[in-house]
Structure 1
Amino acid sequence: MKKPTILLIEDDELDIISVERSLKKLESEYELHTAYNGIEALKILRDQNNKLIPDVILLDINMPRMNGIEFLQVIREDADLKSLKVFIMTTSSEGNDRTEAEKLGISGYIIKPLNYTENTKRSDSMDAFVQFHLRKILNEESN
């Protein structure tokens, strides 16, 4: 049985750690790959020697070099990648970002806590997302 794969595209190290912690609590088998921006993610997805087609992509919007919306536009135009499940995880509450992402066929849009002074808020929010969304996807993919 193939382990479900997750591609996390995130430039904030604390958010990466938060996602990793939340995933560990699932007690499910999975494979996590991380890219720090859209360009790095495209290199991973297009690497012919190590073809990765993730079951789900967790995508930040605000990143250097290539942001999340630009990344979504590129993969939606690529025949091999256009049907990937993508969840946006962002601090951006800009309605325009959400509208653009939804036009590009995302599976979900999660606003990360804006106040990171309490680390528990961040991990509670991430845990809730992982429990409600990713658990279902990972279970579907592993069956």
Structure 2
Amino acid sequence: MHDTPAHQSSGNDGIDILLVEDNPGDIRLTREAFKSAEQEIALQTVTNGDDAVEFLQGSSDNELPDLILLDLNLPGRDGCEVLEVIRDDSRLKPLPVLMLTSSEADEDAARCYDARANAYLTKPTDPVEFMSLVDVFEEFWLEQARLPPIPT
């Protein structure tokens, strides 16, 4: 491991994550799982695809999240449609987007990767397994991977 956070932010050592999820139980579970993270994590939540697009397009550069956890099955625009908007916007395009979904269908994974998702993670139904997934997520995405720098 290294002592320097992988995240390069403007004077803030925390990680800002946007969770786009419509299931209140999954939102609660995700919040609980991130409470045990070694890094400070600010988790913002929107509950449908249209609100996610509005939030991202309406954010200034320094308000954008460092990472997006995006459910596939959402009210309004689905996760892939949100991802396509992100990848078609030059300002949003660099944001890492991880699909975090209950779908195990190969065609859903293929569709998300075709839309340029950075990863496709299937949500475990067991809370203990979900916590384990968050640990792996934190180890790789927050400690090992280098996130894109925030524009200044």
TM range (shorter): 0.7 to 0.9
Question: Match for residue 96 of structure 1?
Answer: 107
Question: Match for residue 55 of structure 2?
Answer: 44
Q: Is the 8 A contact 1:39 1:66 kept in 2?
A: yes
Task: For 1:13 and 1:124, locate their aligned partners in 2 and report how far apart those are by CA, in whole Å.
Answer: 20
Describe the shift of the 1:21–1:138 C-alpha distance in structure 2 as closer, same or farther (beyond 3 A).
farther
Q: From 133, 141, 149, give the equivalent of 1:133.
A: 141
Structure number with greater CO (CA < 8 Å, separation at least 6) is 2
Structure 1 residue ranges, 4+ long, deviating more than 6 angstroms after superposition: 138-141
Number of matched residues? 139
SS of the aligned residue for 2:108 comes to helix
For residues 68-89 of structure 1, the C-alpha deviation after alignment (integer angstroms, 9 at most, x for no partner) is 0110111111111111100111
For residues 79-137 of structure 1, the C-alpha deviation after alignment (integer angstroms, 9 at most, x for no partner) is 11111100111111111111111122222111112xx4x54344344444344434445
Q: TM-score, normalised by structure 2?
A: 0.78
98-107 or 64-73: which moved more?
98-107
Question: Match for residue 3 of structure 2?
Answer: none
Q: Is the 8 A contact 1:30 1:138 kept in 2?
A: no
Unaligned runs of 5+ in 2: 1-10
Unaligned runs of 5+ in 1: none
For residues 41-79 of structure 1, the C-alpha deviation after alignment (integer angstroms, 9 at most, x for no partner) is 111112257963111100000111111011011111111
42-51 or 5-14: which moved more?
42-51
- Counterpart of 1:71, as a letter, is V
Q: TM-score, normalised by structure 1?
A: 0.82
RMSD: 2.5
Describe the shift of the 1:90–1:48 C-alpha distance in structure 2 as closer, same or farther (beyond 3 A).
closer
Question: Match for residue 46 of structure 2?
Answer: 35
